[in-house]
Structure 1
Amino acid sequence: MSQATLSQTATNWWRGAVIYQVYPRSFQDSNGDGIGDLPGVTPRMDHIANLGAQAVWLSPFFTSPMLDFGYDVSNYCDVDPIFGTLADFDQLVAKAHSLGLKVLIDLVLSHTSDQHPWFKDSRSSHDNAHADWYVWAEAKEDGTPPNNWLSIFGGSAWQWDTRRQQYYMHNFLTSQPDLNFHCPAVQDALLDVAKFWLDRGVDGFRLDTVNFYVHDQQLRNNPPMPRSTISNTAPMVNPYTRQQHVYDKTQPENLLFLQRLRALTDQYDDITTIGEIGDDHQYETLASYTEGNNRLHMAYVFALLTDMCKPTYLHGVLAEYLRDAGNAYVCWSLGNHDVPRLVSRWAALGGDERQRAHLLAAFLLSLPGAVCIYEGEELGLTDVDVPFELLQDPYGITMWPEFKGRDGCRTPMPWDHSANLGFTTGKPWLPLGEDHTHRVASDQQADAQSVLNDYRRFIAWRKTQGALCQGNLTLLPAHEQVLAFVRQAGDERLLCALNLSDKPASYALPAGVQATDLIGHGFTGQISNGQIELAPLQACFASVPANASLQGQTA
């Protein structure tokens, strides 16, 4: 199905939507304990609405021991006290809805905390009510783990438990045991969790590690990964990248659970689901997980969340998407709470941070489908170099110093020039970025040329462009400096050309493609005789006649 045929109605608001991710710990603290919370997020909803977003994605706020900062859940149906109460959540949803914003929450279904009552019961014996709710396995004859599966956070994916005298599986921390989706009662319980939040008024879910839910029941070993293969799932210093993850995730039975989840969400109005897919065959898996109308609404992969930013690489990402998932609905993201800040991560593009932020906003907002903006991207925030003694992230502590973890992108939002940049009256849980003093939201609000106002202008302009909101994509030939493609909805065609380098660039349009009526939107360029001239780190957008001949990959 071509995206050009899709219309934006009340029942598919998520198509072409701009979704703003809030990491609650770092957004706004309301009580001075140095940790952001839901009562802090609520009054800041105006900032998100004024940006032009259609929805808010809240990272986990559930009850948790916080060893992985909320991604280790000990109670799915309550708010952790550091974030507030269920009443605070209800007030947040009411405020968002009053501003026309949808609310998506982050469901972590693949694993729980080891402090969850289900796991405490499960590990207590072999015959309790939750005995098979987690992935338990016998040791080999020599006492070693049952297979070679690895944890993303380092080491074996198996932890010995002295009470059951068995190993349990954990794809992440040892304190995050994996649930056993082969147990029907587990699926039923998790669907009840989703129903609890749907009944409370949420508009959908971001599904953490959605392809990790189901494991191979035979516990077969993963084969090695050819060393020449580049992984998008983990840093190359991580041994996790040395396996082909054939058996520890992305099992066919997972699709049956997704169908059950979709059947539940379809009982409510205007709900959407976004899956996070980390897989060796990323777009093939995305296509499978979003196929038809009975699985996920959309999903995203890690291809644009790496440090690789050469135009030829980005062209290859879009080519792979068109080849393997061109009919699927994608939610694109250039940054989130798990990767270094975009303008720092893609520093190889050259120029200064503000130039990169302007250009990369144009790139993200020109892609087909929905897009996610991570908090602070709209301010052009840089990654913060958190010293080892102040690190909070267990991933970074384990992999230091070659991989410093995720704290650098999780530092508090800089709102104004009051104490602690307006984030808290107490001591922030992570250090503030020194150069973030020059990027505070209050200053950018007043600066017409700021990154913040550029995001606002581009999002507002994007809403007027049917080709950008709901059109398909034709990828034009690769170039060492320029990424170029055409977006089309019906007879409306828009050429998007981005010079992803710090040198002037010339891009020759394919024969038959005529671009006219250059659309400024703060970007300029010259188009004449089939040639686009772009200044360093510059984008341009131009109308393409409906009768122009387009040749290239299209979906």
Structure 2
Amino acid sequence: MAPTVFQKEPGWWKGAVIYQIYPRSFQDANGDGIGDLLGIVNRLPYVAALGVDAIWISPFFTSPMKDYGYDVSDYYNVDPMFGSLADFDQVIATAHAYGLKVMIDLVLSHTSDQHPWFKESRASRDNPRADWYVWAEPKPDGTVPNNWQSQFGGTSWHWDARREQYYLHNFLTSQPDLNFHSPAVQDALLDVARFWLERGVDGFRLDTINYYVHDAELRDNPALPKEQRNDKTAPSVNPYNHQLHVYDKNRPENLAFLARFRQLMDGYGAAAVGEVGDSHRGLEILGEYTRGDDRMQMSYAFEFLSGTAMPAATVAEVFAEVARVAADGWVCWAYSNHDVERHITRWGLTAAAARTYVSLMICLRGSLCLYQGEELGLPEADIAFEDLQDPYGKEFWPEFKGRDGCRTPMPWDPAQVNAGFSPARPWLPVPSPHYPLAVSAAEADPAALLHHYRRALAFRRGHPSLRVGEITDVTVEGEVLSFRRTEGRETILCFFNLSEEPATVTVPPGHWVAIGGEIGSTRPTPDFQLYLGPWQPSILLLDSAH
């Protein structure tokens, strides 16, 4: 693909397709078994050829890697295992040469306990950064300040002997939470964002965006009845699911910081997608965080990132909930990412079903996130306990095996050692079922899922109603989901048979032309009947000239 002149047009993010790169596992350029920034540079032509608009790079900052980069010890530098700032500049330059925007993963809710800010904060109760983290006195009997739970298991409070106080950690004990009630903390984090914007990034993926602000009074979370629990943001074996998280996260005070962050981004034409992690109010919070022009441009919840199946009725229910609580916001949809089981395995998809869900995805109203390897149809890897790296999995093994199964190295060539990821032993093994699905094998196979993704993304790019149009008339007939997308004079009607059984549905009167090609080309009969085979989509354009 020939490089193009890079431009950052206003509103580029709306309807954009963002490709997530997990740098440890994408491509190893220096032969140490760990992916790096120059490896990303080398593979950007492949990413650009998919037809995406932007890349999102998971954390590459200096870190002790207790949580694989989500525990930052220096926001202003690249961890040596990934390369250097000069290498990152090369990522920016190369991506922009191919017309790709670059979004980076900012982890603002917490730092590593090795960060200089925390080292200073824990040194005493009266130093300049004493209030930069969330410190609290023990109860009179020495126990933790309240009932808040860590998402990685157990209490979210850890005793610090230096200050003789507890500090808050929503994740690992080595990930202390920053205190967003301190104006100095907010200013420091905005300076971090400004540094990377000046370096040329086009936006951010904001990790755990609804965790930033905690309740200043440290009130207990209420208990959650068993029948209301689910595993959208934590595995079912985790007691984190036993609470309604109204005080340790999801605080209304967060909106003021988001407004400051948006104002900063607007000066650079940048955009952000926030990760909203909440089992009960995810879409509602998404609506709050993306409403209007002074908050985040887009966020994603976990409606399509969890569960064991996604039948037509479930998808329609999600659409209805978005219309109810986030109609004025903007959703970024994803089926897979670095934290959840790959959707090919999670939903138990056949090859035909996988193609249909791709066709559905590119017709959704919102922006899209694709996770590296999903375009190859990679299943979840089965990682032996002795190879496990994820501390989350080690804590809850074997009922929950952690996140390593979706983080294994990207397979590039089945004929090469470690499928072309690295000549050295990779940090996680390349599972044998991934070799025949590698990029070079897919390139040579016209029936490979990779080509379907490329066709689907090109199709979406060619139709403004799919990228930015309204969605109306959501209907479920059996296992057939249908809806209408409209932008200007373009009206598209989408049908998806999400089952193994053939189906017949009625199409509204009008001159409908099948436009989907291999994405979905079934056309209606003269009496407006549409016959759909198992896992068959149909995408129709209203020809207003007739």
**TM-score with structure 2 setting the length:** 0.95
Residue identity over aligned pairs, in percent, reads 54
| Residue of structure 1 equivalent to 2:512 | 516
* Partner SS for 1:10: coil
| Residue of structure 2 equivalent to 1:393 | 390
Contact 2:54 / 2:101 at 8 angstroms: preserved in 1?
yes
For structure 2, which runs of at least 5 residues remain unmatched after alignment?
1-6
- The letter of the residue matching 2:515 is I
| Residue of structure 1 equivalent to 2:503 | 505
* Residues in 2 aligned to 1:171 and 1:118: alpha-carbon distance in whole angstroms: 18
Contact 1:513 / 1:544 at 8 angstroms: preserved in 2?
no
| Residue of structure 2 equivalent to 1:369 | 366
| Residue of structure 2 equivalent to 1:109 | 108
Residue 547 of structure 1, CA deviation: 11
| Residue of structure 1 equivalent to 2:467 | 469
* Partner SS for 1:156: coil
* Partner SS for 1:476: strand
Contact 1:62 / 1:80 at 8 angstroms: preserved in 2?
yes
1:80-479 paired onto structure 2 within 5 Å: 80-231=79-230, 232-268=232-268, 270-279=269-278, 280-307=280-307, 308-347=309-348, 352=350, 354-416=351-413, 417-479=415-477
Contact 1:412 / 1:423 at 8 angstroms: preserved in 2?
yes
For structure 1, which runs of at least 5 residues remain unmatched after alignment?
1-7, 549-555
Residue 514 of structure 1, CA deviation: 4.7
* Residues in 2 aligned to 1:403 and 1:502: alpha-carbon distance in whole angstroms: 30
* Residues in 2 aligned to 1:431 and 1:83: alpha-carbon distance in whole angstroms: 19
Residue 9 of structure 1, CA deviation: 8.4
Residue 477 of structure 1, CA deviation: 2.4
Bigger RCO of structures 1 and 2 (CA < 8 A, at least 6 apart):
1
Write the deviation string for residues 240-287 of structure 1: whole angstroms up to 9, x where unpaired: 11111111111111111111111111121x211111111221222111
* Residues in 2 aligned to 1:459 and 1:32: alpha-carbon distance in whole angstroms: 33
- The letter of the residue matching 1:318 is F
Write the deviation string for residues 94-138 of structure 1: whole angstroms up to 9, x where unpaired: 000111111000000000001111111111111112111000111
Residue 443 of structure 1, CA deviation: 1.6
Contact 1:207 / 1:274 at 8 angstroms: preserved in 2?
yes
Residue 313 of structure 1, CA deviation: 1.5
**4+ runs of 1 displaced by more than 4 Å?**
512-515, 545-548
Write the deviation string for residues 327-381 of structure 1: whole angstroms up to 9, x where unpaired: 211111111100011111110xx5x2x3233122112111112101100011111
Q: Does the C-alpha gap of structure 1 residues 533 and 180 become closer, same or farther in structure 2, counting only changes over 3 Å?
A: same
* Partner SS for 2:476: coil
| Residue of structure 1 equivalent to 2:3 | none
* Residues in 2 aligned to 1:364 and 1:257: alpha-carbon distance in whole angstroms: 32
Residue 459 of structure 1, CA deviation: 0.9
Q: Does the C-alpha gap of structure 1 residues 515 and 411 become closer, same or farther in structure 2, counting only changes over 3 Å?
A: farther
* Residues in 1 aligned to 2:396 and 2:543: alpha-carbon distance in whole angstroms: 52
* Residues in 2 aligned to 1:74 and 1:475: alpha-carbon distance in whole angstroms: 49
Write the deviation string for residues 401-460 of structure 1: whole angstroms up to 9, x where unpaired: 111111010000010121110000000111112111111101211222211111111111
* Residues in 2 aligned to 1:515 and 1:149: alpha-carbon distance in whole angstroms: 58
- What is the count of residue pairs matched by the alignment? 534
Contact 2:41 / 2:90 at 8 angstroms: preserved in 1?
yes
Write the deviation string for residues 453-501 of structure 1: whole angstroms up to 9, x where unpaired: 1111111111111210111111422344122111111221111111222
Contact 2:468 / 2:487 at 8 angstroms: preserved in 1?
yes
Contact 1:393 / 1:405 at 8 angstroms: preserved in 2?
yes
* Residues in 2 aligned to 1:161 and 1:400: alpha-carbon distance in whole angstroms: 28
| Aligned-residue RMSD, C-alpha | 1.7
* Partner SS for 2:410: coil
* Residues in 1 aligned to 2:303 and 2:377: alpha-carbon distance in whole angstroms: 21
**TM-score with structure 1 setting the length:** 0.93
- The letter of the residue matching 1:536 is P
* Residues in 2 aligned to 1:312 and 1:227: alpha-carbon distance in whole angstroms: 24
| Residue of structure 2 equivalent to 1:551 | none
Contact 2:292 / 2:328 at 8 angstroms: preserved in 1?
no
* Partner SS for 1:73: coil
Which is worse superposed, 423-432 or 519-528?
519-528
* Residues in 2 aligned to 1:502 and 1:433: alpha-carbon distance in whole angstroms: 29
Q: Does the C-alpha gap of structure 1 residues 127 and 490 become closer, same or farther in structure 2, counting only changes over 3 Å?
A: same
* Residues in 1 aligned to 2:94 and 2:352: alpha-carbon distance in whole angstroms: 34
| Residue of structure 2 equivalent to 1:553 | none
Contact 1:485 / 1:495 at 8 angstroms: preserved in 2?
yes
* Residues in 1 aligned to 2:228 and 2:22: alpha-carbon distance in whole angstroms: 32
Which is worse superposed, 93-102 or 529-538?
529-538
Q: Does the C-alpha gap of structure 1 residues 547 and 250 become closer, same or farther in structure 2, counting only changes over 3 Å?
A: farther
Contact 2:210 / 2:249 at 8 angstroms: preserved in 1?
yes
* Partner SS for 1:474: strand
- The letter of the residue matching 1:290 is T
1:20-39 paired onto structure 2 within 5 Å: 20-39=19-38
* Partner SS for 2:524: strand
